[in-house]
Every structure is written in C-alpha cells, then in structure tokens.
Structure 1
Amino acid sequence: MNSKILVMNFGSTSTKLAIYKEGVEVVKSSIQHNPEELSAFDHTMDQKDFRKRAVIKWVTDQGYTFEMFDAVISRGGNCRPIPGGIYEISKAMIDDIYTGNYGVHPAGLGCVLAREFGMAYQMPALTAYPPITDEFCDLARYSGIKELKRISSFHALNHKAIAKRHCEQNDLIYENENFVVVHLGGGISIASHLNGKMIDANNALDGDGPFAPERSGSLPVGDLVKMCFSGEYTEKEILKKITGGGGLMSYLGTSSALDIESRIDKGDDYAKDVYDAMAYQVAKAIGGAATVLKGKVNSILLTGSIAHSNYFTSTLKEYVGYIAPVYIYAGENEMLSLAENAFRYLNKIESTQPY
C-alpha cells in the first residue's frame, strides 16, 4: 500500500508532528509553544483551536493537504481504562477525555483533533496504547486504603513498542517472554511484562514510583498530608509540586539531564547526589518489578530520552545487571510506534478494539 499517515503527539509545551509513507518517516517536527502564550488558556482543553491552527499550518508548509492522508493517528489521551491495542477514536472516547475523570493531558487534544480531521476528510482517526492502557493483574490494584485504587497510568505506548521491537530483533515471541521495561523521560515508569501483558507499573503521571525529572514519585505520606493542610499551599500548588515541579526540578531547578550532567562534570557534588538518588530509586523499582515476575526476567529494557545517558544507564546496570541482561533502546520512539500501529491497521494485520 502506498499509504501516508499523519502522526500527532501533543505535549504540555510542544506539538510533535510527523508524516510517514510506506512505513518510512518523511518529515518530523516538534513545534515548541511559548509557555506564556499557553498560560492565556484557563484549561488544557481550551487550547484546541490554537493547536489546530498549528497543525494545519505545519501540514500546509510541508506541501501536503489532508486529502492526501490515508489515516491520522494521535497519542492517546486520558480516556477510561482500556486493554492495549489500536482504537478508532470515537465520540464516546472524546466524551470521556473531556470529563477529566481519568486525568488531563494535552494528548487528549490530539485525539479530539484527529477525530475532527478524520470526519472532515473521511479517513480513519486512530490511537493506540494510550497512557491509561490497563492490563494489570488484580493484585496490582490494591493501594493500602480501601477508598483508593491503584490505576494503570504510564508510558504504555513506548513500553509495548520497545518490548515488541526487542523480540523482533532477537527472534523472540513477546507472548512467551518476561521483561522489565523502564521508560526514562520527564516521567519515569517501570512495568512488569508477563507473557505479553503489562501486569503492573507505577503511576508515572501523578502517583508513585521513583522521582523523575519533573515528577515527585512516591512521597512520605504523613508529611505530604501535613503539607496539604498547613495552609501554606493551595491544592493547585501541591499538585504542581507532584507533577511538573517535582523530582530534579524541585531539587535542582531544571529537568534537563544534560544540564545536570554538565554540572556534575564541573564538580557539583549536590547535583551528583540528586542524580544518583534518582538512579537509586529507579533501580529499587526495577527490583520490585522483577519480584512481581518472581525473578523470571528474560531482559531489562531501558528506553526514553535519559537512556541516551551513559552515566545514568551505567549506574543502573551496576545495580540491576545481576537480575537479567540490560538492553538500551534510547529515545521516546512514540511517533514511530504510532505510525507502526496505523500501518498494521491499514494493512489488516491488526484490527481495532471496541471502546
């Protein structure tokens, strides 16, 4: 098939766009939005028309029209929990995204616009393995307080793509293997993959696990409660400390691993301690994920932007190399992963799941 795919991935301050033809990337860009410009919108979902104009201009600037695409696929938004797979973006999915009941992320806007483009130009509007993808085992859902339930909210798209890619490159069958997959980005997620299912993972959006460049991860619960009721912070300010202002940002005032490693190279001992502490916490979480698999781990797979760092990955290997062989697949891989899912659908290799 001579198929052309438009791929969209909306982040908090960026709109990532790509065009793929015959499974090969033709062009890819990341449009960076001025935070001050975005601050004019009271709610993330209010950015729809702003983001739509950016997408239309980019497509036009590349010399394409929407009639030339065979499908559009967006990174998934926070809809209700669903099994992993490819989905046509339906009205019901959009309605769930708009409620905010399952979290709010700019990727939801990508789904909204993908559906609008699909309806306007009569092409499939797709998403695949959204962050809320839920393949948890029942035991993973218990939190310790009856009223609170652990949910599946992590980098499911990249986790699944990297695990499958590792299997393809090593002549393995994903459904027969056990992996611990670690996404090292602005948020950090560690998941236990058991025979083709992601049965447990930390909530990388706003919940638990190791601290990350922009997220606090698990916190001393009692002290957090006291902070919430101290009167010093609003609910919005507390949430910002957890997501966006936590982790490396809280300790060092930056979420850039490159900047922090530069500081370490210049002799900043405090930066080194903080960075090493993040690696320490990630390693502990990998150990926990391996325990969920009862120690039967075929490989540990590291992905995400920080996987480019030899300093960080070498530190992790020192901690967890005894568990299983460690493989590195650096980069986000999300655009390619989305495109691969769209082509599998168009070539009738994989069908869409019902929402």
Structure 2
Amino acid sequence: MYRILVINPGSTSTKIAIFEDEKEVFSRTLRHSVEELSVYKNIFDQYEFRKSVILGALEENGYPVNGFSAIVGRGGLLRPIPGGTYEVDEVMLEELRHAKQGEHASNLGAILAHELAQLAGVKAYIVDPVVVDEMNNIARISGHPEIQRKSIFHALNQKAVARKAALEIGKTYEDVNLIVVHMGGGISIGAHMKGKVIDVNNALDGDGPFTPERSGTLPLTQLIDLCFSGKYTKEWVLKRIKGNGGLVAYLGTNSAIDVQKKIDDNDKYAELVYRSMAYQIAKWIGKTAVALRGNVDAIVLTGGLAYDSKYMVRWIKEYVSFIAPIIVYPGGDEEKALALGVLRILKGQEKPKIYHEEAERWQKTTCL
C-alpha cells in the first residue's frame, strides 16, 4: 500500500488529502483569513506559514509526515510542458519561487510538496499543471503573427476524466479520441487524441464560449471600439472579460444554481441567456470535433455545471449527441487526480518526467 499526501493551495485556503492507493482516507480544507495572508508581500512568502498549518493538521489527526510514500502538489505557472507527472527539482522550484511565469497560489504546490518531502525523506511531484501544452502547431496560428494561440486549460481534471472515460469505454487513454468539456467558472474544451490534447481553447484569457463569469470570444471590432471609446480603462475592460462577464454581466450572478431557480420561476430572459451558454459550448464542441477529423469515441462533460442535468447537460446533448456518445462526470476531484498521477509512478506504470528537459524540448519543437 502506498500512502500519498496531496497539497492543493488556493488563494485563501490549502486543501490537503491523504490517499492509501486509490482510496481517500483523510481530507481537510485549511482556510486562511485575509488578515493572516495580508502580512506577506507575495505568494512565495506564504510558504512557511502554510507549511506550519499543514504540519499542524497532520499532527492533530495522527499522520506523521514521515509516514508517506510520496507527496504531490498542484502544479503552478511554469513554462509550457506536455502532460504527465513531474518530479519536483531545483529548476522548477527556482522558477516558482521567483514567479517567472506569473503569480498564482498554485505556485506553492510544488514548493510545499518539496519542503514536506524533505522532512519525510521521499520524493515530491506535480501532475498536469495548467500550462500543459500538447497542441499541434497548426492550432497555434491565430490569424496574425503577433498573436499566438496558447494552451491554458483545466489540464488536471481534463486528463483525469479522460482516463476514466477511456476505462469506461474499455480502452486506454492513449487509444481513444475524446472531446472533454470542463464547465466551471471557466470553460475549457479539449481535443484529446491518443493521449495528447492537440487543441484547446485558452480558458484563462478569454477564448471559447462565455461562462458564469467570463465573456468568452467576442466580436473583435466591437471589442476594439469599446476599448478605444474613451469611456473605460484597460483594467475595467479586462475585468469585464474575466470576472464580470458571462452570466455575471447578463444576470448579475455567477451561480448556475441561482440561474436555474430563475428559469424554474419562468424567467424567460434567464432561460435565453443560460441556453445561449449551452449553445456556445455545443458550437465549440463541434469545432473541436473537426480537430479530431470527426473520429470521436466520446464527449465527456465535467465540472460544476455538469451537475445540471435538467437544463445545461440536456441542452448540450440535444445539440451534439450526433457527434459521439456523451459521458457525464459532474464536479472535479483535483486531489484524487493528483494522487492517481503519483500512484502510476509508484507502481511503475509510468516514469516521472524531468521539467527542464520537457520545457526545452517543447521550446524546440513548437517555436513558430
């Protein structure tokens, strides 16, 4: 039996979980107040504080840090790399400590895993960070050489449910073609071909369907007119694209549950907007099927919106069921996905990847 500690840092919390092989035996969400975090200048400065909180929770619940086979953290903002499980090394840590690719709470995942693994005398890992990039070069061309399409998406959950769906079909992940749709505050739709995500919308920076709080792809000249109208600042526009777009802009809420209640109460405008979101998701699924040349084994719906079988899932099915069978895995268990990624290493089913080698290889093979 392998015992794995999972660390998933968020902006105001740190989720920890303990797995014994595939089974979760312990989990906690350790919350951090604004006052506690306000004394730290940047994300990296928080690691000693969060480390002590994690150690305290483990001790309180009878889990000595030296009792783990491996420790895994959520991957942060690194250079683009292929998917997989990566052993934490000094090159990775140096980039995360100095936030060379940007500040984000997930940067602490590898750092905390490394610190605790040092105490435990085991290895630390990350699995499928958001910067996973396996796109074909043809998918990177945007239409203008100064702008290149990027792969930033919910790689951890997408890869995890893709593997689960492949098993349900009776095949391995490397033997299937899937369209995976992660539907949460952000929505990413990936074309998974034989174990690689060869095309996906940039779910972070505004590409794709509109979402509960993001505007998605907008008519370009109208957006340019808005930006140069003199009425708004750059910050205002960026916030309207990511944070105050989508359902928030139309209906004043990012809660799909609230919108569903409005529809139940016969709010026709709410129904139109919510159905339009399903319609846009369906159109992007259709576009993604083209990347797979129509050879699609299944469409996988996941994320928080996949719980809505009454409206969202039903409407999407009405539009795209002609493409392939649809499999629904509501929610997204990031902690289990991290644990399973490491378990494959411990069992010898995969070999851990070396970060700087994969990042350099990516640079050489994808430079346009």
Q: TM-score, normalization: structure 1?
A: 0.92
List alignment gaps of at least 5 residues for structure 2: 356-368
Indicate the residue corresponding to 1:296 in structure 2: 295
Matched, 1:163 2:162: yes
Indicate the residue corresponding to 1:270 in structure 2: 269
* 2: CA distance, partners of 1:345 / 1:218: 38
Indicate the residue corresponding to 2:219 in structure 1: 220
1:25-77 CA distances to partner (integer Å, 9 max, x unpaired)? 00223344456765666644454344334323332332222122221111211
Q: CA deviation at 1:163?
A: 1.3
Q: CA deviation at 1:117?
A: 1.7
Indicate the residue corresponding to 2:366 in structure 1: none
Identity of aligned residues (%): 46
Indicate the residue corresponding to 1:351 in structure 2: 351
Indicate the residue corresponding to 1:194 in structure 2: 193
Q: CA deviation at 1:178?
A: 1.1
Of 117-126 and 95-104, deviating more is 95-104
* 2: CA distance, partners of 1:271 / 1:277: 10
Of 115-124 and 279-288, deviating more is 115-124
List alignment gaps of at least 5 residues for structure 1: none
* 2: CA distance, partners of 1:144 / 1:18: 44
Indicate the residue corresponding to 1:338 in structure 2: 338
- CA RMSD of superposed structures (Å): 2.2
1:74, 1:127 within 8 Å by CA — same for their partners in 2?
A: yes
Over 3 Å counting, the alpha-carbon distance change for 1:243 and 1:101 in structure 2 is: farther
Over 3 Å counting, the alpha-carbon distance change for 1:91 and 1:297 in structure 2 is: same
The letter of the residue matching 1:285 is W
1:104-126 CA distances to partner (integer Å, 9 max, x unpaired)? 43211222211222223322110
* Aligned partner of residue 254 in structure 2, secondary structure: coil
Q: CA deviation at 1:174?
A: 2.4
* 2: CA distance, partners of 1:160 / 1:279: 22
1:232-277 CA distances to partner (integer Å, 9 max, x unpaired)? 4444443333333322223333222122212221233332222112
Indicate the residue corresponding to 2:63 in structure 1: 64
Matched, 1:93 2:96: no
* 1: CA distance, partners of 2:206 / 2:345: 33
Mapping 1:17-36, distance limit 5 Å: 17-34=16-33
The letter of the residue matching 1:352 is P
1:118-156 CA distances to partner (integer Å, 9 max, x unpaired)? 223322110111111111111111112211211111011
* 2: CA distance, partners of 1:62 / 1:148: 50
Of 38-47 and 110-119, deviating more is 38-47
* 1: CA distance, partners of 2:262 / 2:39: 34
Matched, 1:322 2:314: no
The letter of the residue matching 1:329 is Y
2:99, 2:107 within 8 Å by CA — same for their partners in 1?
A: no
Of 300-309 and 65-74, deviating more is 65-74
Mapping 1:38-187, distance limit 5 Å: 43-187=42-186
Over 3 Å counting, the alpha-carbon distance change for 1:45 and 1:315 in structure 2 is: farther
* Aligned partner of residue 212 in structure 1, secondary structure: coil
* 2: CA distance, partners of 1:293 / 1:151: 18
Over 3 Å counting, the alpha-carbon distance change for 1:218 and 1:101 in structure 2 is: farther
1:79, 1:94 within 8 Å by CA — same for their partners in 2?
A: no
Over 3 Å counting, the alpha-carbon distance change for 1:274 and 1:29 in structure 2 is: farther
Over 3 Å counting, the alpha-carbon distance change for 1:268 and 1:189 in structure 2 is: same
Over 3 Å counting, the alpha-carbon distance change for 1:143 and 1:244 in structure 2 is: same
Q: TM-score, normalization: structure 2?
A: 0.89
Q: CA deviation at 1:188?
A: 0.7
* Aligned partner of residue 306 in structure 2, secondary structure: helix
Q: CA deviation at 1:294?
A: 1.4
* 2: CA distance, partners of 1:224 / 1:37: 39
Instruction: Flag as ranges the 4+ runs of structure 1 deviating above 6 A.
Output: none
Over 3 Å counting, the alpha-carbon distance change for 1:321 and 1:103 in structure 2 is: farther
Over 3 Å counting, the alpha-carbon distance change for 1:93 and 1:151 in structure 2 is: same
Over 3 Å counting, the alpha-carbon distance change for 1:252 and 1:8 in structure 2 is: farther
The letter of the residue matching 2:105 is P
* 2: CA distance, partners of 1:28 / 1:325: 34
Over 3 Å counting, the alpha-carbon distance change for 1:131 and 1:62 in structure 2 is: same
1:275-318 CA distances to partner (integer Å, 9 max, x unpaired)? 11211111110000001111111110111121111021111000
1:319-353 CA distances to partner (integer Å, 9 max, x unpaired)? 10111111111110211111111111122221111
Of 220-229 and 267-276, deviating more is 220-229
Over 3 Å counting, the alpha-carbon distance change for 1:263 and 1:58 in structure 2 is: farther
The letter of the residue matching 2:153 is F
* 2: CA distance, partners of 1:23 / 1:162: 15
Q: CA deviation at 1:99?
A: 4.9
The number of residues matched between the two structures is 354
